[in-house]
Each structure stands twice: as C-alpha cells, then as structure tokens.
Structure 1
Amino acid sequence: MKPLITFFPLFVITFFCKPCLGDEQEKPWLDALHENISESVNESALWFDEFFMIDQNSLSEKALGEARIQLGWNPRSRELNQFENRFKIRYKLPNLKNRVDLVLSDYDDEQPDNLLQNTRVDSRNEQNRFNLALQWKAKPDSGLSHRIGIGRRLQPYVKSRYRIVAGIGTQADIRLESSVYYYSSDGFGAEFSGRYSYVINPASMFRFNNHFYFRDETNDWLWQHSWQHLVQLDEKNALICGLYIEGLSQPNYHLNEYLASSRWRVNALRDWLFFEVEPYITWRKDEAFSASYGIGLRVEGYFGQS
C-alpha cells in the first residue's frame, strides 16, 4: 500500500505538470527504468525457453517476453483506499514452435477489463489474483486454446477456450467466446461472452459487451453488460464513455451494481507509457443504490520485446 501512496504524488506531478519539467528527452531515468525492466523480462523468457531446448544449434528465433504493469487509485465518496495494481508477463517459447506461452499475472488475465471490478477491490478478488499457467494452441492462429496452471488461492486448474471473430460488412464485427474450466477446490465453471463492435468512422467506435459466468462453488450465474463509445481524439489521446451493469442469477435474476464513466487515456512522455483519468458514478445494491462519486487515476507501462 505504501509504494502506491508515494507513487501518486509523482503521477500528479509528472502528468499534470509535465510542461514544467522540461522536454521529454530530459528524463533519462525513464529510459533507464524501461531498459532495465525489459532486459529482465527478456532474460527470464530465455531462461524458461532453455528448459525445452533439444539441440543447441536448432534455435533460430530468440525467446522474448512482454510485461504490462499498471498502478492505480480509485477513490470514491464512500471508500478512499481503493488501490489497485496489476502485472502480467507473457513469454513466447520458440523451442515449442511458438505454440505455448507461459503467462504470469496477479489477476485472471482472461477476464474482460471490467470497470466494475477495477473500482471495487474486495477480499475475494484479492485472494483470487495470482495466476501462473502454460497456454498452448494446436496452431499459432487457432481460436482454440488450453491452459493448465495455478490460480485462485493457489488451486491447480485446467481451462479450454474457443474464440471466433466474424465480420459484418465493412464496419462491424462480432466476437464470440466460450470457455470451460475446473479448479481443484472451486469445481467447474463456464464463461460465455459476445461483443458487437461498430465502426462509426475511422476515429469513433461503438461497442456492446455481454458476459455470463457460471460458478460451481456458488451455483449461480454472474452476468455483466456494458455499452461503450470509443473516440480516438488524436494519435496520443483517446476517450471511452461507458455504462456498465452487473448482477447475479440467485436467488433470482437481479441487478447488483451499475456504473457510468468517462475515461481519458493518453500516451505521454514515452511511447510505452500511458496515463488514465476516469471520473465515474456508481450505484450499488448493498448501498441502497445511492450514488457514489469517484475518480480512477492509473499509469500503465509496457516492457520487453524489441
């Protein structure tokens, strides 16, 4: 918690006062930070890939890794200590013909980037965060993938997922996805999702998302719907306005929370560094659907590859 508390004054100074700090090239510590983390990620990828090396002279492609690190703070009118941090590291392993990836993250990286979860950190989510898995496909471009790993309070699990994207004319597409999994303690589960995207113009898109999750440990369905309007303001700035709702199927189909937000995402200082500012309003069933006002502040960095 303390590193995040000390980080946010830096976030405010760097992002909102960056004109006072001089030209972007006058910050060599950013380049050193990126270089050090990227080297560490790529060296780890090579180390993992060597486990599968059969012939020292047969490797023509270098193993590389990529990392995404996000720090955030989502205070709202009833909770100010809503800190979040995320990391995801993916290693591609040439010795396995690039059909197998090693994925390490502190959250279930196959879940959608749902703002309802980003702005509500509870004990159950905290316990479920760590995930380490091998993911493989029969072909690199196959829509069918399989995972075996450890997640959700260090439970061994297996998971299979199928994804397909179909175009509708020149301006729209539909992405359908389904998966089934088994955790050693939580039991079986299933996920179904559908996303409709419509390109209004080259700088504007509408997106409608639907997600359904069956959870064996609670014998119910968690459902989530969202409507988003994405606007590319310029090559460095984007705006996402959205409405998000979430509910459960037990004891009957009911709404638990809905939320409206407007997210400004900007690529600043370096091409690998992104900042987000997201004011939002949320209404929750456990708070009698009384409006709660908040703002999300996040910084995100991408490391590795070359």
Structure 2
Amino acid sequence: MKIKHVVLLFMFSAFYCNGEENEPQPDYPWLDDMHENIAQSVQDSAIWFDDFFFLDGVMHQETAQAEARIRLGWEPRTRSLNQFQNRFRVRVRLPNLKNRLDVVLSDYDDETELGNERLGQDDNFGDKDRLNLALRWRSRPNSGFSHRIGVGRGFQTFVKSRYRNHYSLTTDTLMRVEGSIYYYSDDGFGSHFSTKFDYSATAATLYRFDNNFYYRDKTEDWLWRHSWQSLHQFDEKTAIISGYYIEGLSRPNYQLNEHYVSVRWRQNALRKWLFYEVEPFILMRRDEHFAPSYGLALRVEGFFGHT
C-alpha cells in the first residue's frame, strides 16, 4: 500500500473520543469526533480565505462555508490486486464576493463526477496527477456559465470556461448538456462535451444514458466514453446502480478499448454523512486482449462541512 493510502486510513482511525462512563454514548463515538474535527478544519480554512475579500464597513450576514468529500477505495481484480482509488474534494464558498467565486481543491478532474468513475482509465490521457486547485467564478450564483483559473495535471497552470444546463424533454425525461474549453500550459488546448439523458421510470427507478467526448492537443485525438445505467433507490439509505460502460480512442482509428460491467450497492450507515459501497465488476481491456478480469470494489465515503 502506498504511503498516501496509509496516511488516509490512519486519518480515519486516529480520532477517538472517550466519553464519561456514566453518560450514554452512541455507537462508535470516535466517528462523531473525527467528523467534527475535519468539518471544523475545513470551515476555519473557508473563513480565513474569505477574509482576504472582506471590505471595511460592509456587514455580511452570511458566513463562508466549506464542504469536503473524501472517499477511500480498494478495487482489486484478477491480474491486478493492488488497485486503490482514493479521492477528495474541498469546495469553499465566499460570500464576500456575493457567492460568485468558489475555491475548489480536488485530486480528480471534475469533468468526471465522483461516484460515476470506472476502473482502468487511460493514464496517457491525464488520469494521473489530477490534483487541482482553482478559483471558479460565475457572473451570477445560478449561472450555467463558469470560468476557472488554477493549477492542475502535474502543476500546470490552466484556464477553463464551461457551460452546464439541463432541459426537460418530457415530464419523465431530462437532458443535461455540458461543454467546456480549456488551456493547460504544457498540454495545450482541450475540450470536453457531454450529454446525459435521465428517464424516471418510477419514483424509485431512473435510467441514464451518458455520452462524453474529450479532446486535448497533447494526444491529438478524441477519447470517448459511453455508459448505460439503471439506478434504483430502495429507501432513504440504500440504492443499487447497475451499469455498462465502454471507452475508446479516435486514433489510430475509432476503436473500442474497454468494456466495464458492474453492480454497485450503496448504503448509508452509522451516520448521515457516512456511506459505503460494494461493487462487483467485470473489466475487459484491449491491452489485455479483452480477457475478462473479475473484481470487487470496496469503498468508504464521508461528507464533511458545517452548513
């Protein structure tokens, strides 16, 4: 296990609170202490950063807010048992700038939503060194347009503009559209376009068809990803997501490089902010001659912040 994984695991286990013997305590009280410590830490950082934009004589009723999302995952599969995927994302909202500016720190590119990732992503297309620190600006808090400037992909400086919106096609069908263009100091220009169709079959069941296309100067080709998903919520704490994902490149020709089939069980447990996932999957890759590789992903995810 890599050092950063050990550090994160110890971070989740190092906080422990010994309560009074005569007072009733909830199960696993160290979870509450850990959550409070992390939440307060990110909140203090948000207030400290927001003070940079404070104007003398201007009173603000709203306090800066921060939220953090941390996920630890072990995703072994046949032929590759040492598969770990740990992710974090911190967002700070700054009321001193009328909530038009956010600070975003993450170790993944948010073009791919956390929780909708597959395994075996193409490392040559920039899936490593994803640490991003950026200022995100909107002309209005609810605007579909946003702009970023920051550092990412191996400490390259970048600028990015994105448009995101959704449209109701019918009472049960929703289409989400997103397009972005960006420039990295080493990789050059790139773009991303996606369309997502959601169909609500029932109040508890949703079907999703997701399409993504990426282009970057560094590779001079397009990477495409398509997925079909079925999402079913059993109750407020339990859901299951079944999916089929494919991925490929446009060069040297438009070819399929990967199949991925999975069933993900997601459960809210012990606390409202804590989740775990169990996901059996089958992965078939071109560089492995499309021989099936069977795996089981185990993940723990926590949400931290004062709202």
Q: TM-score normalized by structure 2?
A: 0.90
Trace 1:5-16 onto structure 2 (pairs within 5 A).
none
**Which amino acid is the alignment partner of residue 200 of structure 1?**
A
Trace 1:141-220 onto structure 2 (pairs within 5 A).
141-220=142-221
* Pairwise CA distance, 1:91: 0.2
**Which amino acid is the alignment partner of residue 77 of structure 2?**
R
Q: 1:264 to 1:114 in 2, by over 3 A?
A: closer
Deviation digits for residues 193-212 of structure 1 (CA, Å, limit 9, x no counterpart)? 00000000000000000000
Q: 1:122 to 1:150 in 2, by over 3 A?
A: same
Structure 1 residues without counterparts, runs of 5 or longer: 12-22
Q: Distance in 1 between matches of 2:134 and 2:7?
A: 32
Sequence identity percentage? 55
Deviation digits for residues 8-57 of structure 1 (CA, Å, limit 9, x no counterpart)? 8xx9xxxxxxxxxxx99221100000000000010000000000111255
Q: 1:115 to 1:284 in 2, by over 3 A?
A: farther
User: In the alignment, what sits opposite 1:223?
Assistant: 224
Q: RMSD value over aligned CA atoms?
A: 2.2
- 3-state SS of the aligned residue for 2:142? coil
What is the total number of aligned residue pairs between the two structures?
A: 294
User: In the alignment, what sits opposite 2:238?
Assistant: 237
User: In the alignment, what sits opposite 1:87?
Assistant: 88
* Pairwise CA distance, 1:145: 0.5
Q: Distance in 2 between matches of 1:85 and 1:98?
A: 29
Greater shift, 225-234 or 52-61, is seen at 52-61
2:147–2:159 contact (8 Å) kept in structure 1: yes
| Larger proportion of helix | 1
User: In the alignment, what sits opposite 1:19?
Assistant: none
**Which amino acid is the alignment partner of residue 286 of structure 1?**
D
User: In the alignment, what sits opposite 1:105?
Assistant: 106
* Pairwise CA distance, 1:305: 2.3
Q: 1:266 to 1:56 in 2, by over 3 A?
A: farther
1:73–1:83 contact (8 Å) kept in structure 2: yes
Q: 1:121 to 1:186 in 2, by over 3 A?
A: closer
User: In the alignment, what sits opposite 1:290?
Assistant: 291
User: In the alignment, what sits opposite 2:31?
Assistant: 30
Structure 2 residues without counterparts, runs of 5 or longer: 13-23
Q: Distance in 1 between matches of 2:6 and 2:278?
A: 17
Deviation digits for residues 159-203 of structure 1 (CA, Å, limit 9, x no counterpart)? 000112000221111011100000001000011100000000000
Greater shift, 98-107 or 116-125, is seen at 116-125
User: In the alignment, what sits opposite 1:253?
Assistant: 254
Q: Distance in 1 between matches of 2:190 and 2:122?
A: 22
Trace 1:57-136 onto structure 2 (pairs within 5 A).
57-113=58-114, 117-120=118-121, 122=123, 125=126, 127-136=128-137
Q: TM-score normalized by structure 1?
A: 0.91
Greater shift, 24-33 or 235-244, is seen at 24-33
Q: Distance in 2 between matches of 1:121 and 1:191?
A: 16
- 3-state SS of the aligned residue for 2:48? helix
